[in-house]
């Protein structure tokens, strides 16, 4: 029997090779294929005349074949097929390459709907390799054709056909709708299976909107239930009361005075810690607002009360930096700090684990710092008091759940530079208290920001030469590590009826570093990315900190937390690929010292339409320096992706991440609220969803069986 769990190889014509290509898109089963939602739609229903074709994109045309196709052979087994076709406004020459078999498809006098970009030279029109569908009066060709994210070996034609076949096969065993009938009636929804079909093959725009409305709701609904389940499993009854001690010893070591905002946040934290109820608090503060010292104050408070703390960062680089900074501070207070990374030698790990469990307070490690690997390293504490997660938005849902589990009888503090919308925070954390640092330490300078395209390259290089000559250092951030690796496309509904032209090529860190080494012989050029060995990363970062490397080419591994005060210029290549919040984080890497600092965002390609659009989007960065305002814009532009897990290539990737395929938190906020409310009511009436086994299955699947 064919089900959604059947492998794609049950489809006719899908063998090992095609199945492997599908796997690259994350499509293993028919269900995955159905959930590979369209990226956009081609509006082939809007028929234009040749003379009136779009100058900048593809058009749909109804043309009559006017001449017999001729095959022209070239050397080296190449050939092309040429014929003429016309409508009332003109005649067009149509060409196909290496497809001689099409010769018999286009007899003179037959009519087709063509879809392609019309080139015009004087009064002559030309179409190259257009999509052709036989047309006759009364024939209903679909007006909207889905466009999908593709990969090598999977063409649009192929996936369109396979989706169609899969939908037809699955229609034989229709999916029972997981949503309670009352809710379907209340919102006047299409059945789920129908909505899925219509999303792939909409009859018209209204039909598409209806399908999308149902699926977005379902997504939010599943998401709300899933998060509620995960949270419930991990809610904690009590945590140690940490009310003794004073902050003075810690504060007296600082070379600066706390800002008013930091003082307020720290006192909120200390009030929480003094209660037997586990703290669940998030510090939100812009890059450089000084969140770390607030966490240090929390850690110090807990340690003074005889308890231990764990601090987790999303990358090794950041974990090391925290270790360097905090152990310098805490060693003067007699607090024992250890660093535990995936790369830490096994013997060392064993020693640290033992010291964390030691009953002797003189030997016991008070603070362990690491990456999320801490969660999976089987770390146990003799006297657990506090778990701190830095830059929490980079952690996946599974890690968040594990984190809460770890923090069962402890206090939990999470820190983020990305302000999380209230609605989303509620879904993710339930009742999480927020502390805002809305003030930067005094004397911070503004990082002047420019948005430019390839045409500016030479001037940019001159500028880099000058920064280097001045003794400054430069970050260059690329979206990919190696050439063949393209950053994943997001499901992009902004161009719903107007698919994007091909994207500009990506700058890749490794090869780009080599190119730059030639352009800038006066300095050393290093590179850094997530796939390097941990020791290599550390060495590279250390040379950059020490000033031995003038230009550091990197992927977004340096996005969070890294502190090199001498760095004065941040260049981001293919900046169009990044979310605004992410760019703001990257920009926060410079302007940390006394040097006047700059950020240059380079968009790929040149002054074409796509470039124009990216520059417009990015121009917010020129005028806005407030992370909160930028996050708001980001949410409007890109949806919640960045809040859930970063989409850049080096992001901490998680299986079992609950990510949104369709929904956009900003645009669909009404659906989100409705779905969250409905989910809460359903759970109140039936806490274990005993009457809704289909929903339980769905959530279990979406969360990687995390909740079962
Ligand atoms: P973030 O909020 O981005 O994590 P950090 O905690 O790393 O910021 O702080 C950024 C820098 O600002 C650090 O070098 C830190 O020592 C410094 N800093 C923090 N608080 C203050 C303050 N009140 N006055 C001056 N410098 C501060
Ligand atoms: Mg930080």
Question: How many whole angstroms from 292 Cα to the centroid of ligand 1?
Answer: 7
Cα angle, residue 249 at apex, residues 246 and 255 outer, rounded to 5°: 130
Digit-coded pLDDT (tens) for 606-642: 555 556 777 778 888 998 888 777 877 776 665 544 4
Q: Is the CB of 283 under 6 A from ligand 1?
A: no
Ranges 226-230, 289-293, 301-305: which has the least confidence? 226-230
In the chain, % of residues over pLDDT 90: 45
Q: Is the CB of 293 under 6 A from ligand 1?
A: yes
Distance 620 CA to ligand 2 centre (A): 23
What is the distance in A from the centroid of ligand 1 to the CA of 256? Answer: 9
The predicted structure's pLDDT at residue 487: 35
Tell me the per-residue pLDDT of 237-293, one tens digit each, with 9 for 90 and over. Answer: 688 999 999 999 999 999 999 999 999 999 999 999 999 988 888 898 887 889 999
Tens of pLDDT, residues 574-615: 888 888 888 888 898 898 888 899 999 998 765 555 567 777
pLDDT tens digit sequence for 339-359: 999 888 999 999 999 999 999
Residue 702 is predicted with a pLDDT of 63
**Which pLDDT value is given to residue 647?**
30
**Ligand 1 binding pocket includes 292 (Cβ within 6 Å):** yes
Q: Distance between the two ends of the chain, CA-based, in angstroms?
A: 26
Note the pLDDT of residue 665: 60
For residue 657, what pLDDT band results from cuts at 50, 70 and 90? very low
CA of 297, nearest ligand number: 1
C-beta 564 within 6 A of ligand 1: no
Q: What angle do CA 673, 675, 677 make, to 5 degrees?
A: 65
Ligand 1: residue of 292, 584, 628 to mutate (most ligand atoms within 8 A of CB) is: 292
- Distance, CA of 655 to CA of 660 (rounded, Å): 14
Chain Cα centroid distance, residue 422:
19
Between these two residues, 559 and 452, which has the higher pLDDT value? 452
Q: What is the pLDDT averaged over residues 524-546?
A: 85
Cβ–ligand 1 distance for 418 under 6 Å, the answer: no
Is any ligand 1 atom within 6 A of the Cβ of residue 591? no
User: What average pLDDT is seen over the chain?
Assistant: 83
State whether the beta carbon of 488 lies less than 6 angstroms from ligand 1. no
Ligand 1 atom with the shortest distance to the CA of 390: 4
The protein residue whose alpha carbon is closest to atom 4 in ligand 1 is: 291
Number of the ligand closest to the Cα of 285 = 1
In this structure, which residue's CA is closest to atom 20 in ligand 1?
A: 290
Query: What is the atom index within ligand 1 of the atom nearest the CA of 262?
Result: 23
Spatial distance between the Cα atoms of 539 and 438, rounded to a whole number of angstroms: 35
- Atom in ligand 1 nearest the alpha carbon of residue 294: 6
Residue nearest to atom 26 of ligand 1 (CA): 441
585 lines ligand 1 (CB under 6 A): no
Angle 552-555-558 from CA coordinates, rounded to 5° = 70
CA dihedral (328, 331, 337, 343) positive or negative = positive
Tell me if 248-437 shares its fold with 448-644.
yes
The residue contributing the CA closest to ligand 1 atom 18 is 290
Q: Would strands 525-528 and 551-554 be described as parallel, antiparallel, or unpaired?
A: parallel
CATH code of the region 448-644? 3.40.50.300
Q: Closest Cα to atom 15, ligand 1: which residue?
A: 290
258 in ligand 1 pocket by Cβ < 6 Å? yes
| 61, 48 contact by CB (below 8 A) | yes
Residue-wise pLDDT tens digits, 164-207:
999 999 988 777 899 999 999 999 999 999 999 999 999 888 89
Which is nearest to 642 in space by CA: 476, 418, 430, 449? 418
Contacts of 285 (CB under 8 A, 6+ apart): 261, 265, 291, 415, 417, 436, 437, 438
Across the range 648-655, mean pLDDT stands at 26
CB distance 464 to ligand 1 below 6 Å: no
Kindly report the CATH number that applies to the domain delimited by 248-437. 3.40.50.300
For tokens 């699955």, the residue is 170
Q: Where are the domains of the chain?
A: 8-41+153-200, 45-141, 248-437, 448-644
| Sign for the pseudo-dihedral over CA of 313, 317, 323, 325 | negative
Nearest residue CA, atom 9 of ligand 1?
A: 290
441 touches ligand 1 (CB under 6 Å): yes
Q: Which ligand is nearest to the Cα of residue 315, counting in written order?
A: 2
Q: For domain 45-141, give the fold.
A: OB fold (Dihydrolipoamide Acetyltransferase, E2P) (2.40.50)
Q: Is the CB of 290 under 6 A from ligand 1?
A: yes
Report the atom number in ligand 1 closest to the C-alpha of 292.
6
How far does the centroid of ligand 2 lie from the alpha carbon of residue 298, in Å? 15
pLDDT band for position 499 (cuts 50, 70, 90): very low
Contact 416 CB / ligand 1 (< 6 Å): no
Q: What is the pLDDT of residue 242?
A: 95
Cα 531 to averaged position of ligand 1 atoms, centre (Å):
29
């Amino acid at each position: 029997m064919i089900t959604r769990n059947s492998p794609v190889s049950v489809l006719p014509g899908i063998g090992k090779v095609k199945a492997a290509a599908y796997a690259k898109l994350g499509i293993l089963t028919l269900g995955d294929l159905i959930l590979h939602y369209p990226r956009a739609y081609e509006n082939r229903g809007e028929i234009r005349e040749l003379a009136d074709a779009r100058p900048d994109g593809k058009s749909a045309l109804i043309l009559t074949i006017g001449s017999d196709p001729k095959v022209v052979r070239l050397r080296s087994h190449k050939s092309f097929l040429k014929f003429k076709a016309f409508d009332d406004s003109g005649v067009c020459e149509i060409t196909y390459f290496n497809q001689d078999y099409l010769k018999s498809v286009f007899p003179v006098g037959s009519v087709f709907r063509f879809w392609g970009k019309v080139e015009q030279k004087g009064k002559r029109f030309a179409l190259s390799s257009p999509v052709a569908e036989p047309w006759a009066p009364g024939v209903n060709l679909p007006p909207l054709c889905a466009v999908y994210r593709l990969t090598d070996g999977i063409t649009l034609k192929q996936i369109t056909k396979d989706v169609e076949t899969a939908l037809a096969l699955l229609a034989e065993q229709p999916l029972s709708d997981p949503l309670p009938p009352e809710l379907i009636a209340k919102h006047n929804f299409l059945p789920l299976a129908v909505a899925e079909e219509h999303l792939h093959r909409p009859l018209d725009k209204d039909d598409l909107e209806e399908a999308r409305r149902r699926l977005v709701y379902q997504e939010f609904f599943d998401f709300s239930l899933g998060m509620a389940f995960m949270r419930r499993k991990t809610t904690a009854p009590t945590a140690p009361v940490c009310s003794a001690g004073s902050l003075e010893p810690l504060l007296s070591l600082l070379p600066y005075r706390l800002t008013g905002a930091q003082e307020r946040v720290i006192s909120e934290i200390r009030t929480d810690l003094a209660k037997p109820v586990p703290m669940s608090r998030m510090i939100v503060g812009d890059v450089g607002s000084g969140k770390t010292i607030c966490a240090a104050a929390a850690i110090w408070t807990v340690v003074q009360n005889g308890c231990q703390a764990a601090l987790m960062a999303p990358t090794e680089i950041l974990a090391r930096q925290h270790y360097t900074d905090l152990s310098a501070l805490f060693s003067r207070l007699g607090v024992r700090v250890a660093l535990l990374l995936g790369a830490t030698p096994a013997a060392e790990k064993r020693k640290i684990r033992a010291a964390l469990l030691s009953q002797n307070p003189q030997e016991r490690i008070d603070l362990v710092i690491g990456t999320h690997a801490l969660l999976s390293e089987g770390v146990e504490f003799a006297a657990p008091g506090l778990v701190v997660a830095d830059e929490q938005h980079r952690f996946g849902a599974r890690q968040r759940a594990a984190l809460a589990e770890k923090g069962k009888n402890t206090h939990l503090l999470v820190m983020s530079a990305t302000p999380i919308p209230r609605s989303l925070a509620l879904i993710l954390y339930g009742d999480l208290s927020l502390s805002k640092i809305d003030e930067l330490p005094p004397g911070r300078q503004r990082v002047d920001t420019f948005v430019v395209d390839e045409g500016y390259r030479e001037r940019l290089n001159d500028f880099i030469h000058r920064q280097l000559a001045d003794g400054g250092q430069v970050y260059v951030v690329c979206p990919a590590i190696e050439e063949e690796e393209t950053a994943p496309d997001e499901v992009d509904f902004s161009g719903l009826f107007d698919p994007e032209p091909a994207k500009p090529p990506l700058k890749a860190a490794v090869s780009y570093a080599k190119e730059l080494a030639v352009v800038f012989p006066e300095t050393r050029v290093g590179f850094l990315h997530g796939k390097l060995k941990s020791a290599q990363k550390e060495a590279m970062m250390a040379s950059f900190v020490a000033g031995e490397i003038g230009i550091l080419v990197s992927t977004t591994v340096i996005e969070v937390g890294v502190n090199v005060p001498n760095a004065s210029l941040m260049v981001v290549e293919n900046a169009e690929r990044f979310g605004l919040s992410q760019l703001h984080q990257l920009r926060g890497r410079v302007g940390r010292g006394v040097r006047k600092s700059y950020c240059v965002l380079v968009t790929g390609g040149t002054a074409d339409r796509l470039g124009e659009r990216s520059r417009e989007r990015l121009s917010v960065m020129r005028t806005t320096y407030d992370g909160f305002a930028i996050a708001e814009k980001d949410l409007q532009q890109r949806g919640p992706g960045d809040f859930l897990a970063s989409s850049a290539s080096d992001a901490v990737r998680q299986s079992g991440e609950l990510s949104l395929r369709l929904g956009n938190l900003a645009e669909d906020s009404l659906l989100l609220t409705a779905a969250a409310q409905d989910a809460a009511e359903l759970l109140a009436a039936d806490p274990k969803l005993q009457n809704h086994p289909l929903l339980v299955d769905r959530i279990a699947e979406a969360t990687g069986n995390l909740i079962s």
